[in-house]
């Protein structure tokens, strides 16, 4: 398994930092590919470089031997499945459901907070 994590500028992209922190904290080896934000226009260098690996054109993207996963939660689930020994989710079913609830809330909610405090 050869993992590459595509991230944006770390001082702007809290999205990028989520799987980055997870990989680091779990001690899972990966190569970081930083794609600097120039703009989000369709013709930007950022979009052109990302589209080569992901149809969505957003960071983060995890690439595993050429296979792309392009959403934070999907990346987290992929890592949890492939590294069960890391115990990324709690073993207890209720604790796991609670942890997923919290992650989903953070992932798709708190937009006002995230807009005001992007990092
Ligand atoms: N749901 C995605 C959101 C990713 C996202 O919005 N990333 C931003 C960077 S912080 C991005 O790439 N934006 C580019 C754009 O909106 O075109 C995830 O959690 O991975």
Task: Tell whether 40 is covered by a domain.
Answer: yes
Give CA–CA dist 115/73, Å, rounded.
19
Q: Give residue 52's domain range.
A: 3-89
Task: Tell whether 11 is covered by a domain.
Answer: yes
The 8-class DSSP code of residue 13 comes to -
User: pLDDT digits over 65-97, tens only?
Assistant: 999 999 999 999 999 999 999 999 999 999 999
Task: Tell whether 108 is covered by a domain.
Answer: no
Which carries the bigger pLDDT value, residue 31 or residue 111? Answer: 31
Give CA–CA dist 2/65, Å, rounded.
6
From the CB of 19, is ligand 1 less than 6 Å away?
Answer: no
Task: Tell whether 117 is covered by a domain.
Answer: no
Task: Tell whether 56 is covered by a domain.
Answer: yes
Total domain count, the chain: 1
From the CB of 13, is ligand 1 less than 6 Å away?
Answer: yes
From the CB of 61, is ligand 1 less than 6 Å away?
Answer: no
Give CA–CA dist 106/81, Å, rounded.
21
- Residue 14's domain is classified under what CATH number? 3.40.30.10
Return the residue whose CA atom lies nearest to atom 2 of ligand 1.
71
Residue 89 token pair = 């989710």
Cα of 71 from ligand 1 centre, angstroms = 8
User: pLDDT digits over 16-43, tens only?
Assistant: 999 999 999 999 999 999 999 998 899 9
Q: In this predicted structure, what is the pLDDT of residue 112?
A: 86
Task: Tell whether 106 is covered by a domain.
Answer: no
From the CB of 40, is ligand 1 less than 6 Å away?
Answer: yes
Task: Tell whether 98 is covered by a domain.
Answer: no
Task: Tell whether 83 is covered by a domain.
Answer: yes
Cα of 117 from ligand 1 centre, angstroms = 15
């Amino acid at each position: 398994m050869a993992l590459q994590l595509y991230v944006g500028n770390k001082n702007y992209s809290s999205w990028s930092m989520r799987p980055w922190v997870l990989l680091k904290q779990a001690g899972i080896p990966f190569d970081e590919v930083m794609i600097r934000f120039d703009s989000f226009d369709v013709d930007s260098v950022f979009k052109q470089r990302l589209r080569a690996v992901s149809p969505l054109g957003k960071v983060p993207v995890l690439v595993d031997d050429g296979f792309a996963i392009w959403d934070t939660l999907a990346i987290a689930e992929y890592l949890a499945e492939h590294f069960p020994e890391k115990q990324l989710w709690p073993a207890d079913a209720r604790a796991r459901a609670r942890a997923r609830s919290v992650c989903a809330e953070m992932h798709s909610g708190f937009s006002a907070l995230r807009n005001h405090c992007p990092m």
